[in-house]
Structure 1
Amino acid sequence: MPAVSSPQPSATSQPHHRFIKISRYIYVFREFSKFSIWTPHVSFLQSLRRLAPIPSPSFFQTLDIVAENPDKFRIVGLAAGSNVTLLAEQVKTFKPQLVAVRDESLVNELKEALADMERKPEIIPGEQGVIEVARHPDAVSIVTGIVGCAGLKPTVAAIEEGKDIALANKETLIAGGPFVLPLAHKHKVKILPADSEHSAIFQCIQGLSEGALRRIILTASGGAFRDWPVDKLKEVKVADALKHPNWNMGKKITVDSATLFNKGLEVIEAHYLFGAEYDDIEIVIHPQSIIHSMVETQDSSVLAQLGWPDMRLPILYTMSWPERIYCSELTWPRLDLCKLGSLTFKAPDNVKYPSMSLAYAAGRAGGTMTGVLSAANEKAVELFINEKISYLDIFKVVELTCEKHQEELVATPSLEEIIHYDLWARDYASGLERTSGLSAVPA
């Protein structure tokens, strides 16, 4: 894959004279009554009386908010991959109409766990069950949070049924953007960002006219190795990469934060969501994770969204927008800038974080390349966590996979082609483990 010597532009080295358009796929959430949520482990649909807050891609945080707002939410469906115990507990608590279990062998176990319920939900097994949850007739919108392309088919099914999307997973646009966005436009489906960085951008552009944006600035914590010298990275162990300084997240996203692949993927997502050219999207290291992203307008003003590093906030805003929902400071601590102290920033090190060059190059290549980048990274992180390859080999695996894909890149892929190359990238990346150029995690 062609190297990108300068993965992001300098704010001072060149003028920004392109106009960034607010994406036509972002529509106003006015009045709607029902929506659904997808989380990494359990996916569910919810019914609303009004616009209402939804917490985060994290299952537990999401259900906490639902429980705090019984006047605003009614869950109508739940879906899980294999965690039947957790699913059964939530079914008993929230009493959905429809339940799906992706692992069909666990259906009987779930039925036994729900045997004492007076009003039992309908249970549909397999991937088809998850799709049925996504297009439940009582749902109008879904929040997508399933990691990887596993959530792509259910999301597409929901769009085809005219259900609005609150976007909490990256792959829907990174892999599926060339297919998903035209489909959303065709079905007049609303897409709103529900992760912290893109929600911050979305909040900052409220009230701005089309063409008012000049630059998007994504903030990054810098991850576990932001203070490590580059020459020490060859010694990284899995436990080191899982020590995020600010956020409490799953293993995969924590490693992505360490490599900065999460930010590279967010650059691609920002391109699709907001219509921004890659030259107009920048990354800055902000160790405190208080400013979640910024935008610069044509008159050089910079607007920022601030808040504690709490993943409940962006989904709350996404689902309550254009309203603001009151949250008790007992469960939602308020930000005190005087007690917080200083906020600092620095440019990311392109040598320490080669992920940026790879992401910008993949984004500019477009088509199926962005999905291949994401899938290769996911497989490489899995290999690293399982101690099959070293930390630095994550970058090698992704680069080699993307280079190989240049031979077969599809500029305007179908859904089938997106899924095909997602699987191809995982298989190719996995095969690289056996090459002599890679090494195991140091003991």
Structure 2
Amino acid sequence: MLLGSTGSIGTQAIDIVRRNPDKFRVVALGAGGGNVELLAAQALELAVDVVGVARSSVVQDLQLAFYAEAQKKGWATGDFKLPKIVAGPEAMTELAQWPCDVVLNGVVGSLGLAPTLAALRSGRTLALANKESLVAGGPLVKAAVTRPGQIVPVDSEHSALAQCLRGGSAAEVRRLILTASGGAFRDRRRSELSDVTPEEALKHPTWDMGPVVTINSATMVNKGLEVIEAHELFDVPYDTIEVMVHPQSVLHSLVEFADGSTLAQASPPDMRLPIALALAWPDRVPDAAAAVDWTLAHNWELRPLDHEAFPAVRLAKAAGEAGHCRPAIFNAANEECVAAFVSGRLPFLGIVDTLEAVLAAAPDFDEPGTVDEVLTAEDWARAQAQRMIATAAEGA
């Protein structure tokens, strides 16, 4: 089952399924509803049983898209099976409980938390590409796990860590090293970041990602979120998780063991590899992506993160260690700050500076016990960030 099927993760997952029909069958697709034509084409190609859309208002458009796609294929009306349609805010959660072996959660944002919990509670293996599930609702997610190894990470960094961790026992692990491309401004000092524009921030040197993730890469907030996710996934202390800048994006992460040995996972930057591994875990899918060309010379650089220029990782670690919904506040406030930066209401450095101010002003929330408690903390964070952004704009 693919949730977020029309997004980047979903379309690449379908490419893997398309090339491996003997290994995978998709029974359900879910999407927000912003691209019903693509969703209909995917559903008919894969002959899924059910399709879900988060927006009830597009159900009629989706039905018309089914018929239009059938006409393209030369099918007469009534000569094809129309999938069941579920719609509305709970559609992804309903789909996550549909009978299947693996749920790939590629939903964007905190909307992915409820489907994550539903998949886990239903006993499904969860291929998790929705980092907000663990960032915002880590305690809830861990409590919903029904068996060891039920969550398989899809992010390239966490997939790399999972692969490297096969090389030793948990007691032998000394340190996790997450690599970061460094984003658009990886070679700049803080003094050189005051006047950068959204257009500059959106020019990622390696990966083709959505605007929010690309800007998060430029601020290193994305790496801060991944540090929190690594802590939750692998149950390691924050002070044993490091970040290093690796511009070539070939070494996706490393694990240092107690004897001084370090294992790294290397492959060209292609998300199809970690997606395929998550779908087939613990098995590998042959030729999921291209390998490193070992007939050529390679120069791979690793350097420490400049925490003065990019303090987001330090903030994320502090939020994670504090708990009590601080990671959810970090994530939600960042989304508001990124939107303000894109619209010209906040300078680039103001994104993380505002994040720090929001975290400092946060009340003492309890550890979340329900999704609603997570959403309450996020609502507070968004409102607080908006107030601070407006105040900064008035004083500019």
Query: Structure 1 length as normaliser, TM-score?
Result: 0.83
Corresponding residue of 2:73: none
In structure 1, runs of 5+ residues without a counterpart are 1-35, 43-56
| Residues 128 and 438 of structure 1: CA distance in aligned 2, closer, same or farther (over 3 Å) | same
Task: Give 1:414 shift.
Answer: 2.6
Task: Give 1:345 shift.
Answer: 1.4
Corresponding residue of 2:119: 158
Q: CA–CA distance in 2 between the matches of 1:99 and 1:338?
A: 45
Q: CA–CA distance in 2 between the matches of 1:112 and 1:147?
A: 26
Cα deviation digits, residues 250-275 of structure 1 (max 9, x gap): 11111111111111111111111111
Corresponding residue of 1:364: 321
Q: CA–CA distance in 2 between the matches of 1:84 and 1:439?
A: 43
Q: 1:93 aligns with which of 14, 29, 45?
A: 45
Which structure dedicates a bigger proportion of its chain to helix?
2
Asked whether 1:239 is paired with 2:204, we answer no
The number of equivalent residue pairs is 385
Tell me, yes or no, if the aligned pair for 2:337 and 2:351 is still in contact at 8 Å: yes
| Residues 69 and 438 of structure 1: CA distance in aligned 2, closer, same or farther (over 3 Å) | farther
Task: Give 1:438 shift.
Answer: 7.6
Q: CA–CA distance in 1 between the matches of 2:258 and 2:245?
A: 23
Task: Give 1:338 shift.
Answer: 5.0
Task: Give 1:114 shift.
Answer: 1.8
**Percent of counterpart pairs with the same letter?**
41
Corresponding residue of 1:279: 239
Q: CA–CA distance in 2 between the matches of 1:433 and 1:392?
A: 12
User: Secondary structure, in 3 states, of the residue corresponding to 1:75?
Assistant: coil
Q: CA–CA distance in 2 between the matches of 1:217 and 1:130?
A: 33
Q: 1:149 aligns with which of 95, 99, 110?
A: 110
Map of 1:108-257 to 2, 5 A cutoff? Answer: 108-115=60-67, 116=77, 118-137=80-99, 139-185=100-146, 190-257=150-217
Task: Give 1:411 shift.
Answer: 2.9
User: Secondary structure, in 3 states, of the residue corresponding to 2:252?
Assistant: strand
The structure with higher relative contact order (CA 8 Å, sep 6+) is 1
Query: Structure 2 length as normaliser, TM-score?
Result: 0.92
Tell me, yes or no, if the aligned pair for 1:214 and 1:297 is still in contact at 8 Å: yes
User: Secondary structure, in 3 states, of the residue corresponding to 1:123?
Assistant: strand
Q: CA–CA distance in 2 between the matches of 1:350 and 1:365?
A: 20
Q: Which runs of 4+ in 1 moved over 3 A?
A: 437-440
Corresponding residue of 2:70: none
User: Secondary structure, in 3 states, of the residue corresponding to 2:26?
Assistant: strand
Corresponding residue of 2:370: 414
Q: CA–CA distance in 1 between the matches of 2:182 and 2:149?
A: 35
Map of 1:64-83 to 2, 5 A cutoff? Answer: 64-82=15-33, 83=35
Corresponding residue of 1:382: 339
Tell me, yes or no, if the aligned pair for 2:137 and 2:368 is still in contact at 8 Å: no
Query: Which amino acid in structure 1 is aligned with residue 91 of structure 2?
Result: G
Q: CA–CA distance in 1 between the matches of 2:209 and 2:149?
A: 30
Task: Give 1:327 shift.
Answer: 0.9
Tell me, yes or no, if the aligned pair for 1:219 and 1:292 is still in contact at 8 Å: yes
Q: CA–CA distance in 2 between the matches of 1:131 and 1:412?
A: 19
Tell me, yes or no, if the aligned pair for 2:40 and 2:66 is still in contact at 8 Å: yes
User: Secondary structure, in 3 states, of the residue corresponding to 2:365?
Assistant: coil
User: Secondary structure, in 3 states, of the residue corresponding to 2:44?
Assistant: helix
Cα deviation digits, residues 303-338 of structure 1 (max 9, x gap): 10000011111121222232222117xxx3321245
The farther-off stretch of 307-316 and 380-389 is 380-389
In structure 2, runs of 5+ residues without a counterpart are 68-76
Tell me, yes or no, if the aligned pair for 1:178 and 1:367 is still in contact at 8 Å: no
User: Secondary structure, in 3 states, of the residue corresponding to 1:178?
Assistant: helix
Corresponding residue of 2:309: 352
Map of 1:3-22 to 2, 5 A cutoff? Answer: none
Tell me, yes or no, if the aligned pair for 2:125 and 2:151 is still in contact at 8 Å: yes
Q: CA–CA distance in 1 between the matches of 2:395 and 2:162?
A: 42
Query: Which amino acid in structure 2 is aligned with residue 59 of structure 1?
Result: G
Tell me, yes or no, if the aligned pair for 2:52 and 2:87 is still in contact at 8 Å: yes
Asked whether 1:103 is paired with 2:103, we answer no
Cα deviation digits, residues 142-189 of structure 1 (max 9, x gap): 12221211011111112221212111121111111111101214x667
